[in-house]
Amino acid sequence: MEIVRGRSVLKRTAVGRLQYYEKEEPSVVRRQVEDTERELSRYERALEQAEKELEALYERALGEAGADSAAVFMGHRMLLKDEEYRNSVTRAITGERVNAAFAVETVGDELCRLFLEMEDEYLRARAADIRDVSDRLLRILEEEEKGGGRCGRGPALSEPVILAARDLAPSETVLLDKKKILGFVTEQGSANSHTAILARTMEIPALVSVPVAREWDGRLAAIDGEEGILYVDPDPETLERLKEKKARQEEAARLLLEIRDLPDVTRDGTRVELYANIGGPEDVEAVLGSRGAGVGLFRSEFLYLEKETYPTEDELFSAYRQTAERMGGREVVIRTLDIGADKTADYFGIEKEANPAMGFRALRICLKRPEIFHTQLRAIYRASAYGKVSVMFPMVASLWEVEEAKAMALQVREELEREGIPMGHVDLGIMIETPAAAILSGELAEKVDFFSIGTNDLTQYTLAADRQNDRLDDFYDPRHPAVLRLIAYVAENAQKAGIRAGICGELAADPSLTEVFLKMGIRELSVSPSFLLPLRKRIREICLEETENDQGV
């Protein structure tokens, strides 16, 4: 028996035969061409085909993993349209008179090298996206010469297996046949990578940072996601133990469905509002299917990322109205756009920054470009006539930002009233994502109706650890005492001011912290729809009175 440790992506168990997957790299040869117009036409057709493939991947990811996870393919589409990238390939074809495939590979390699040399970790990570987009174009060009083929497909699986690979791209992950993929292990990647996030949302047991061996192909193996261990050729005792663990996990998943219609109440009667995070109207069915109390975070930036230019007021209004109506009176909290950092749209014309996570993003863009903010606020207030709609401002760091945002919201409300457009009541809230906002939460609580604590950004800013940096996995700790103390401080100030405070970051879905948060006074948790039922189960197991008595309170 071979025991190999890795990093767990999902705390699930898988047992089956290993299949080693080696990505087929395109073979590119430099050729001098006389007809550069023909090569330019081939390149343009490849761009069109790649965009179609990415659109299909985005739609599939929406169904498999939701809008948040699908956003990676929106990012790939934007890279595909990047003027610098496209013009560099075109110049190589016409200036050096080389074939399109060689031009794509050369430009892709050069851009990857430039990004890898940058100091900022986020920008270095963009090299992988450039490589993925370039490889897609290369495969399309290669298959065109061969007369068609299997462009854009993932690993071919003939039977249910545990896949072993050096790495899996997000596109390969979302294309995995869920009837035939038992789990996967990869040598590269991190627990916070796009591939890992997709695996979690698709509920595929997986380990990363595993030294994968080609000779494992065809051998029996088991993934223990709870312990982060891969067993190759497990002995009978280990195999039986892991099969029993897998059966227990499957039974637990079945039992979760039995509590779908039960209230989110602790054993001693404390009510908790369990909300869901969504990226668009298409996610509402998953929320309703798990009986979510409402939408705690509508990531409205996805309505911008899927467009090639600014969405109109009516386009935004349509998405917000659909969501509000389908939620049937349940609250829908719409976060104003959080463009910037790892979510960019070329048409915003934002200059490249050395540290985009701490740069021109979110509310800062809205305050500096009021015309964009104005359009979105009008759409939100118009939608409030069709359901319970609230608005939330992201990336707040000071009091004046909130005052300015509220003034613009009031201006929009008065404007719509003059036009005779119907509206409902709209609560105004802010996200607590910066240490500055947490420290100022006492003063901020006097200016808004609610807080929503975004633990992902709050963690990275508190610990000065970029959450996109794979090398900082050991340093990026959402359970760090400093992060938890800030959350407790925010909850305390919210209670003093008589406003509600919830958590909408990834930490909200951690069942080991649910009791901790409830003891802090947190009564609202907003998570991805797939986490609603497990969290409901955890809430119904807790008795706050018992824990207080245990502590002598």
% of residues, the chain, pLDDT over 90: 50
Q: For residue 66, is pLDDT > 50?
A: yes
The secondary structure element, H or E, covering residue 66 is helix 36-81
Highest mean pLDDT among 60-69, 95-104, 118-127, 469-478: 95-104
pLDDT of residue 330: 92
Q: What is the pLDDT of residues 77-114, one digit of tens each?
A: 888 888 888 889 999 999 999 999 999 999 988 888 88
CA distance 264 to 502: 15
Q: What is the mean pLDDT of residues 136-144?
A: 87
Structure tokens at 164: 């072993």
Q: Please pick, among 112, 151, 366, 504, the residue that the annotation labels catalytic.
A: 504
CB 346 within 8 A of CB 82: yes
pLDDT of residue 341: 59
The per-residue DSSP string of 145-190 comes to: HHT---TT-----SSSEEEEES---HHHHHTS-TTTEEEEEESS--
Q: Which residue from 377, 378, 375, 284 is spatially nearest to 324, judged by alpha carbons?
A: 284
Q: Which residues pair with 452 in a beta bridge?
A: 431, 502
Residue 296, CA atoms < 13 Å, CB-side half-sphere:
30
Structure tokens at 453: 């604590």
Q: Please pick, among 112, 194, 425, 543, the residue that the annotation labels catalytic.
A: 194
Q: For residue 553, is pLDDT > 50?
A: no
Q: How far is CA 434 from the centre of its chain?
A: 19
Q: For residue 70, is pLDDT > 80?
A: no
Local structure of residue 33 (DSSP, 8 states): -
CA distance 199 to 191: 10
Local structure of 193: helix, strand or coil: coil
Q: How are beta strands 273-278 and 524-527 bridged, if at all?
A: parallel
Residue 477, CA atoms < 13 Å, CB-side half-sphere:
7
Q: How far is CA 320 from the centre of its chain?
A: 20
Residues composing the chain: 553
Q: What is the pLDDT of residues 455-495, one digit of tens each?
A: 988 998 899 887 667 677 778 888 899 999 999 999 999 99
Lowest mean pLDDT among 258-267, 275-284, 358-367: 358-367
Query: Which residue segments constitute the domains of the chain, with CATH numbers given?
Result: 2-22+154-257 (3.50.30.10), 36-146 (1.10.274.10), 269-550 (3.20.20.60)
The model's confidence at residue 496, banded by pLDDT at 50, 70 and 90, is: very high
pLDDT of residue 219: 94
Q: For residue 551, is pLDDT > 50?
A: no
> Average pLDDT over the chain, rounded to whole?
86
Local structure of residue 530 (DSSP, 8 states): G
Q: Is 504 a catalytic residue?
A: yes
Q: pTM of whole model > 0.75?
A: no
Residue 140, CA atoms < 13 Å, CB-side half-sphere:
22
Q: Is 194 a catalytic residue?
A: yes
Degrees to nearest 5, angle at CA 180 with 8 and 506: 35
Lowest mean pLDDT among 218-232, 293-307, 512-526: 293-307
CA distance 553 to 537: 26
